[in-house]
Structure formats: structure tokens, C-alpha cells
Structure 1
Amino acid sequence: MKMILLIVIAMVLGGVGAAGGLYAAGFFGAKEEGPKTDPNKPVLVLAGENAEEIAKAHGMGGEGHDGAAVAGHGSAQKPGKGIDLPTPVNPSAYQATYFQLQAPFTSNMSDTDAFAQISIAVSTYYDMRVIEAIKTHEMAIRSQVLMMLAQQPEMMLGTPEGKRQLQGKIKIIINDILKQKTGYGGIDNVYFTNFVIQ
């Protein structure tokens, strides 16, 4: 009888020890969850607010910003993937920020000897991290826009509808590159500031 009692006590102590070890390893505790939202995700800027101040308040550097926060800004996302930031339901409640890419885009047309030269600007309702990301990744954006522009027929770009379609394609290209490089899109619209076909 004593032998059975000793075996039962040893089993109980062994079970308690194993349970304690599993508890200490975090097996039974609530799993730690990271932040529910990525702190690097650009935020909407309300009308009357300053997009740069909002970005600084959420972690972006100011003047002299070297792009380190932008390059990692989306680090919660897997490389090559990202999310589209939604367009506000009521855009008039938010501050639009505009940015013009400095150099024009010049490309031959796909079906003639003509060439197109366009200058573009973009707008976002999000903080300056979106604009800083465009500046940081301008070469990738420029390359993709030029490749797409070279595939366009002259007749299409000569019509208002063709130009609207081109705006949409450029918006998709920019947002896709931003999602790949930073984890987030954020461009709401593309504007032509110069459009010449010769």
C-alpha cells in the first residue's frame, strides 16, 4: 500500500512540475499580441491640420529625414505585399497634400514615331510619409511609368478618355510600388501638369 501511495505522490509531483514548466514557457498564458495597428502606417490628415506635423507625431523625421523610417515604414508587411490605404468616404473632411514629381516623363509611343512628354503630380489624404515614400522610391516609380507609357498608342492618348485611363494606370503603378517597398499605398489621384505628344 505504501508503494502505491509513493507512486501516486511521484506522479502528482511530476505532473505539477511538468505543468509548472509549461506555464513558465508561456504555454498556458495568453499569447502576446503585437500592436493591433502598425505604428508606421500613414494616417489621414483632417482638414486644417498639417500633414508634416501629423507624420512627425507618428514617428517620421522632419527636415533632413534620411528615409530610414520610410524604408522600414511597413515593416509589419511581408516584402512585396502591402495594403491599399482607403480613400476617405468624405474627402472634404480631410486635408489633401499635393506633390509634383520634378522631371517630366518622356517616351516613344508604341505605334508611331511620335513621343509623349508628361509631367505629373499626385495627391494623398494621408500624412507626409506617403510623399516621403514617393521621393525615396522615385526611380522605381519612374521606371515603371516609362515602361507603361511606351506601350500606349498615340491615338488613345489623344483623347480625354485615354488620358483618364492613363491617370488611372499611373495611380495603380505608384500605389503598387509603394505597397511593395513600404507596405502601404496612399495615392488618391494623379494629375497631369504638362501633356505633350509630338
Structure 2
Amino acid sequence: MSDAKTDTAEPKKKGGFMKKALIAIVLLGVGGGGTYGAFAMGMLGNAAHVEEDDTPKLVLKGEEDPYPFGAAEGEKDKVEFVPGKGGSKYRTAYYNFTDEFTSNLAGGTALVQVSIAASTNYDGRVLMWLQEHETALRSRVLAELAATDEMSLIEVHGKEELQKRLTKAMNEVLEEREGFGGVENVYFRSFIVQ
């Protein structure tokens, strides 16, 4: 018979008290930090951070535009403000594209030449974006004109449909570049089909 001890007995646990004390301190710290974090993130209390809405706002008639556009040299010939008395309660501003648009029409040899203005009821940021992105907007308008059939422009309904397409196209360009459209309508200042 052997007097040798076997290793089947469980090893003696070391540091049991120290481990429990360390875990308690960590939990207390996390608990306190968790509470602080919850306050900081606005989950508890009244510390919620409200993000400010930075999209252009509608401008009421007679109200001052918080983002004035059109007063500077070089902008005066591009913008018209129409306060009006009746109709909508919002001010209408027109952005006049200075150059005409000339394009071939789809399915033939006819040309169209138009001069256009875009209207908005929103603050001056939309007008500013129309000027800043005029190259991209011109390109998109020319593409829409080139996709238009000559026969559709003979009647008023066809011209109205083109206005809607141009409005949608301009808003898409502005949304892509600025995150907001704001063009209410596109108007023809001149319209020639040859």
C-alpha cells in the first residue's frame, strides 16, 4: 500500500475574499458610471439633447428671411420676391436662370429653346443652392428637354407635364447635393420650338 497522496482532491481556492471585493468595486463603479452615462445620454432626467432641425423653413408673407439672398451684387437680376396679398400665406421667390436652355427634342430634328424660373416658398438657402448648383441643374434640365417628344409640346397639357418633370428633376438634384429640394414649381419665361 502506498502512502502517496493522489491529486484527485480539489485545489485550495486562493484569494476568494479579494476576488469578491474586486468584483463588488467594479460593479459599483459600473453602476455609478452606468447611472451617470444614462443621465449624460438623456435616458434619465431631463438631460436629453434635442437635435436642431436645419432644413429650410417656409417664409411667411411679411416675415424677414433668416437667410437673405438676392441683395448682393450679381444676385439682383436672378431673384424676384413676390409678397402678394392673397393666395398662399407664404412668400414666393423666383430664381431666374440667366441663360436660355437649348436642346434637340427626342425622335426628330426639332429644337426647343426655353428660358425658365424656379419658385420656392422656402428661405434663401434654396435660392442660394439654385445658384451654387446651377451647372448640375442646367445639365439635368437639358437631359429632360432632350427626352421630350416634339408632339407632346404642341398642347398646353404637354408643356404642363414638362414643368412637373423639370420641378421633380431640380428637386432631385438639390436633394442629392444638399439633402433638401424646396423648388415648388418651374415656370417658362420663353418657349420656342423650331
Is 1:45–1:126's contact at 8 Å kept on the other side of the alignment?
A: yes
Alpha-carbon separation, structure 1, partners of 2:16 and 2:102: 90
CA distance in 2, matches of 1:133, 1:63: 15
Structure 2: where are the runs of 5+ without partners? 1-14, 43-47, 74-85
TM-score by structure 2 length?
Answer: 0.73
Deviation at 1:20, TM superposition (A): 3.7
Q: Is the 8 A contact 1:106 1:117 kept in 2?
A: yes
Deviates more, 1:29-38 or 1:115-124: 29-38
- Alignment-mate amino acid for residue 41 of structure 2: K
Aligned length: 163
Fraction of identical pairs, as percent: 35
> Contact 1:167/1:190 (CA < 8 Å) preserved in 2?
yes
CA RMSD of aligned residues (A): 2.7
> Is structure 2 residue 181 aligned with structure 1 residue 171?
no
- Structure 1 position 8, deviation (Å): 4.7
Cα pair distance change 1:98/1:5, threshold 3 Å: same
| Residue equivalent to 1:144 | 140
The answer to whether the Cα contact below 8 Å between 1:141 and 1:177 also exists between their aligned partners in 2 is yes
| Structure 2 residue aligned with 1:31 | 41
| Deviation (angstroms), 1:92 | 1.7
Secondary structure, aligned partner of 1:99: strand
Q: Greater shift after overlay, 160-169 or 4-13?
A: 4-13
Offset of residue 5 of structure 1: 6.5
Distance 1:38 1:184 in 2: 12
TM-score between the two structures when normalised by the length of structure 1: 0.72
- Residue 192 (structure 1) aligns with: 188
CA distance in 1, matches of 2:49, 2:192: 50
Q: Quote the Cα distance in structure 2 between the aligned partners of 1:91 and 1:12.
A: 70
- Give 1:147-162 correspondences, 5 Å limit: 147-162=143-158
Aligned partners of 1:42 and 1:55 also within 8 Å: no
Quote the Cα distance in structure 2 between the aligned partners of 1:5 and 1:110. 86
Question: 1:49/1:103 Cα in 2 relative to 1: closer, same or farther (>3 Å)?
Answer: same
Structure 1 residue 101 displacement after superposition: 0.5
Identify, as 1 or 2, the structure richer in helix: 1
Distance across 1 between alignment mates of 2:92 and 2:142: 26
Residue by residue over 1:6-46, the C-alpha shift from the partner in whole angstroms, topping out at 9 and shown as x without a partner, is 6654442232133345556x3x335266543433x211111
Q: Assess, with a 3 A threshold, how the Cα gap between structure 1 residues 148 and 6 changes in structure 2: closer, same or farther.
A: closer
Secondary structure in 2 matching 1:47: coil
Which structure is higher in RCO with an 8 Å CA cutoff and minimum separation 6? 1
**Inter-CA distance 124–149: structure 2 relative to 1 (3 Å threshold):** same
Deviant stretches of 4+, over 3 Å: 3-11, 20-24, 32-37
